[in-house]
Structure 1
């Protein structure tokens, strides 16, 4: 099997080479969302600002030459290439009139072949089911609109959604960092690179794809770190002692269903209290060199930190449970593990502040770029054993800067809570703090946990007699109408009238629902607007009690 593999930048892939690309019809649809876009924009702007001459590596691109269509089928790398093409189109719309010939040419030729203008031969075709939408709303021209809810404005067009997100995040990061847009566009094309692998057949491409995704690659950064540290030990006995300790760390983590790479990344954040610029092994080896510690001293500290990491992960604490639902685990995880490792005296108040801060940001729709620097600042304060008032001020300053609390309140009090990424997590926060028990069991966000509409989405005649159409629209997806059920109870409740629903919640199969917030619904004799208003107020008070704690 002959393979062609080369590291290529975006300019080489989309601009220079006379190559054209397409998504084969068997591939899944384009699926990147707001968080993926935010992470990518944040990472590439950060890499550009470092100005260290390093390329920004962005994964692999596995291709097969489709002779019939005279295009390369993309077997792996669809999400990245699609997003890079969207970014190019946003560059064109935002900056086409203010940049010079060089970046302008890069942009134009990464969208459409300059020698095929009469045929309008596009460099990249997406899944044929969505190609017309992609072409008409993004590739040809993007008509940006001012909207607070991008997903709702374009529910069936992920490409146009993400074009709006790219615009939002680009403008925010470019303005706040005073980025020279012409330099950045040139850097974008010349310094973002992918490992491009051209395979002779679909079978070989899929085989390569599986190998890459099963981590069947050469030494990982963790292997390199271990090898480097061991090589610095002079004697066989010391190397053996190091290896035994390393294996003990691995074993203890595995026993708690934790992974060493997650622990070491958390440890790296603890050591540098900033965003890593290089691979984990490079960053840590550089830190260790500055500290001048021996490998045995290093492995002892890593082992102690790993113990704190395991302790934090196994804590039976309501606040920690709530934090576990957050997507960007590395930030809160690093702060709390550091607090345990450094024996921070105000750790319980710290947990409370973190739930309030991160949940306000999550519900307000803030991206990781907004919370990242504040998280590092707090991590540094905890590491230096700063007072809890200083940490509270750090969180509050960030919330005030972006008016996060105002947006948070608007979101959670709106009539469209259902369907948000945080809907079940917020109800679980309320559930945890609806009892006085110090210790609860963690409730995972799995398929067995269902969000129940008390006033159902599909209405029977009895419900229509109780609610007007305006009331149905206002209340159905609001927080007051939502509760938690197990899969079994959800099936039993169906779209029945309120009395039948209560029977399902209470004693169907002689088993009552385990959720306190659902048991409280049983206290209502009927379900109407007054009931909804009372419940909404009660649930919001619970949320605000845990999130409005900044003085």
Structure 2
């Protein structure tokens, strides 16, 4: 099938003066997101090129044009720069009120009605981008001045809580252009030279893909979009996934339902301080486990979308959305350990202290397959994987065993009883990036009925504390023991930078017996007490790792 591609460089006038064309930002696209810094970079580039008398190329715009609505091409890529340039045109109409024809670039007058519509029609459902465009379209010079004075702070910034990014960038561009014209001496000719430069010497490359209908055209445009993304454009994988899922939902007549579900995914991910891409990464590991894959991971995007056999092409839309909903439920459960059984909560918390995400991939996969109901089985699984991951230490090499764990779980098979019996006490002398995790593990091993919802970590002795140490420390290199298991303490209150006497007072306020006992015999810390603590913690850890019973 021919690609039906057309690409022709256009200046801003050509792009925004294209008859009755209205550029549609489809529902599946991201909201407008350019911030002050990004907008300023474009402003700086264009004004600098003007001063150097050089043309400026903004970048590509990829659009899809179907036969049935030829006047409403869909923007697949480039909406951020397109909207920003539209905003800039609006600012110039205000600064050049005698150039009334520029206003025609902002709107479209329908031949079949009296409607005057913005040149851009955003259907994005996460934000009210279209309403914001409409608002900015109506701004007068007095509106710009008033809004700037009302919303800018002493640092020259506009809070996003007070206004949309579209309006904020309109105000910034208005302020910057006023200053730029002032630097030109408000010379009428120089200002009009810039206007002409902006409209005629600033270029874009619209890449247009056609089709019998908008769906066919969009498929072709997305193919180009994905190819360009492979070559380095900074685009989120989830944008492509959203486009594919939205298309499937639309075919089933469920597009409105999908919009609500996608907004829910965004909301949950935001609450969990993660991206939607990360949500799909969990799904990726679940799907790989179902297929029995234990080889190295490839590109998430390629795995989910590359060909007709990929997950987003093969699985029914409803199944995928249900799976993602299940994963978000699991992640929400994992983020609230205080509501779990104490034993399970402790293990979940320990997995959260691990230095990479692989233990969490294993747990999410387990809960996806087995559910939450059998608490005994879940606790046994958690104990086994905590022992394995902490035994291996902080390393990415655990990913290969994670693949195998996930495959076994997907087939409802038991994971192995890991033999960690060769671990030695000396292992805990110089703990690396997992030192906090080991300290928490030792704490829970010694205080089996405890669960600390809010935890902090501190070191008891620092090099600066030598004058507060007992004489029996004189042959001890404090640097050598600073990451020893006995020097790491789990706190139930925030860590503070204190010397040992102040720390002793502070620790005495803790509700944890272990913390209060550290300086129980005074503020002069004895090496004998350190050694006693070290032996007790190491013995607890050694018993845990050498016990191969699950």
Taking structure 2 as the reference length, the TM-score comes to 0.48
**TM-score, normalised relative to structure 1:** 0.48
Q: Over alpha carbons, which structure has the higher Rg?
A: 2
